[in-house]
Each structure stands twice: as structure tokens, then as C-alpha cells.
Amino acid sequence: GDSVTQKQGQVTLSEDDFLFINCTYSTTTYPTLLWYVQYLGQGPQLLLKVTTANNKGISRGFEATYDKGTTSFHLQKASVQESDSAVYFCALGSSGSWQLIFGSGTQLTVMP
Amino acid sequence: GALVYQYPRRTICKSGTSMRMECQAVGFQATSVAWYRQSPQKTFELIALSTVNSAIKYEQNFTQEKFPISHPNLSFSSMTVLNAYLEDRGLYLCGARTDSGNTLYFGEGSRLIVV
């Protein structure tokens, strides 16, 4: 079945560091790939989404490219801020069903 | 923009009692709603998928008898956790979706604490 893998459970950075969060997926259908961000005490918020292979989603300085060859959708940001501290979830939507399958999440902590 | 409100934000209930939570979509028509439970470890469990005027589809390990859902119109859905016990603790999230695409817009969640 469809699946999403986030290998990094926790990432700790300092302000202005480069962020890279790994996400790979598996599906037999045409995927929609999304990143959600969940701040402490809140629900998940959509950060960015891509539906076409080789396209890049960009939002609030974050970007992720849908790489069909490596079945990846890694999240990157050139320079993180303390306010970016949150849990980041990669999610997969397949054309066969509109439910989303979430990765296990990556807790990002940015030190001032 | 699309907004989803969930109420209540937090409930403490005695073991064996029930909790009802509501989900309101504002600014868009929520033709479909997905109810998830998020564990303290942050993992998501899909409980059920609900589409207006269609049967509600429950995932394995979740039943209508335990988690009855109502989705009467395009802006409102509710779910009840009946006879809640410790294993039902968690953050219950409502994700609403319009007709097109796979994007779910989530509310802040309703946290269930069972004592």
C-alpha cells in the first residue's frame, strides 16, 4: 500500500542554518505531495503542496521538489529562524483515494 | 482563506463517559471530512472519511458504534467518542476538503483526556 517515510525524528539547528528534512514515498498512483507544519498546541497547517512531477512547491521560504525518479519530496529552507520550531509532516495523497497518509513527523528545534 | 474550527479544544472526561466534538468549515464548502486521531507521539490514525450524502467509511479498528459521525451539511461535522477509556486519549483532528484536490484543511483539534 501507499506509504510515507520520514527518517529524521528530530532536527536541532541554530538560527540561519540550512534546513533539510528527508521524505520519501511509495505509491502506485499519481501522487499529491504535501508538507504540513504543526506548531505547539495547534493543528497541522498546510505549508506547501505539489501535484506534478519535477515541480517545486514554495512557501514562506520553504521549498520542496517532487522528484519522481527518487520518489522523494524533501523539505528545505536556506535560513531557519527560531519561529520555525515545530513538527513537520510530509503527506501523500493518491489519485485512488482522497485521504492523506502522513509521515511520522520531524520535530525541528531552532536555537536562538 | 479556508478555515476550520473545532470545538471543544480540550475535554477531561471520566472513564466510561462520552465526548462530542464539532468541526465547522468557514469560507469554503467541506464536501468531505476526514477525522484523525493524533497520538502523543504525533502519529496520525485515520478514523473515518465522511462525504456529504454518502456513507461514512470507517477504518479498521474504528467503528460507528464507538465513533458515530454526523455530516449533515457542507459546513459542519461532528463526532462522538462513546464510552471513552484511556486508549482513546489523543488529539482528534478534523480535516476538511472541497470537491477538488487532496488538500485537507485542519482545525486546531479537540484533545481528549480520560481520567
**If residue B115 lies in a helix (H) or strand (E), which one and from where to where?**
none
Q: What is the mean pLDDT of residues B84-108?
A: 90
Chain A residues lying within 8 Å of B32, measured CB to CB:
98
Q: What is the pLDDT of residue B33?
A: 94
Residue B1 has pLDDT above 80, yes or no: no
Question: Which of A97, A100, A106, A108 to mutate: most B Cβ within 10 Å?
Answer: A100
DSSP β-ladder status, B19-26 and A86-94? unpaired
DSSP state of A79: S
Q: How confident is the model at residue B101 (pLDDT cuts 50, 70, 90)?
A: low
A105 with B104: Cβ contact below 8 A: no
Q: Which residues make beta-bridge pairs with A65? A: A56
CB A35 within 8 A of CB A91: yes
Chain B residues lying within 8 Å of A41, measured CB to CB:
108
Q: What is the mean pLDDT of residues B88-94?
A: 97
Q: For residue A110, give the nearest of A48, A19, A9 by alpha carbon.
A: A19
Q: What is the mean pLDDT of residues B58-66?
A: 96
- The overall average pLDDT reported for chain B is 93
Q: What is the mean pLDDT of residues B53-76?
A: 94
Chain B residues lying within 8 Å of A100, measured CB to CB:
34, 95, 102, 104
Nearest to B42 among A43, A98, A105 (CB): A105
CB B19 within 8 A of CB B11: yes
Beta carbons within 8 Å of B28's beta carbon, 6+ residues apart = B2, B96, B98, B105
On whether any CB of chain A is under 8 Å from the CB of B97, the answer is: yes
DSSP β-ladder status, A31-38 and A10-14? unpaired
Q: How far apart are CA A25 and CA B33, in angstroms?
A: 24
Q: Residues 39 to 78 of A: which have CB under 8 A from any B CB? A: 41-46, 49, 51
The percentage of chain A sitting over the pLDDT mark of 90, rounded to a whole number, equals 79
Q: What is the pLDDT of residue B52?
A: 86
Closest residue in chain A to residue B94, using alpha carbons only: A43
Q: How far apart are CA B33 and CA B25, in angstroms?
A: 10
Q: How far apart are CA A39 and CA B29, in angstroms?
A: 26
Min mean pLDDT across A82-91, A94-103, B3-12, B39-48 is at A94-103
The sign of the dihedral angle between the CA atoms of A98, A99, A103, A107 is positive
Q: What is the pLDDT of residue A29?
A: 85
Q: Residues 9 to 38 of B: which have CB under 8 A from any A CB? A: 32, 34
Q: What is the pLDDT of residue B102?
A: 73
φ, ψ for residue B62 (rounded to 5)? -130, 135
The percentage of chain B sitting over the pLDDT mark of 90, rounded to a whole number, equals 79
On whether any CB of chain B is under 8 Å from the CB of A87, the answer is: yes
Q: What is the pLDDT of residue A30?
A: 83
CB B37 within 8 A of CB B111: no
Q: What is the pLDDT along chain A (112 residues), one digit of tens a residue?
A: 889 999 999 999 999 999 999 999 998 888 899 999 999 999 999 999 998 887 899 999 999 999 989 999 999 999 999 999 999 999 999 776 778 999 999 999 999 9
CB B102 within 8 A of CB B95: no
Q: How far apart are CA A2 and CA A21, in angstroms?
A: 20
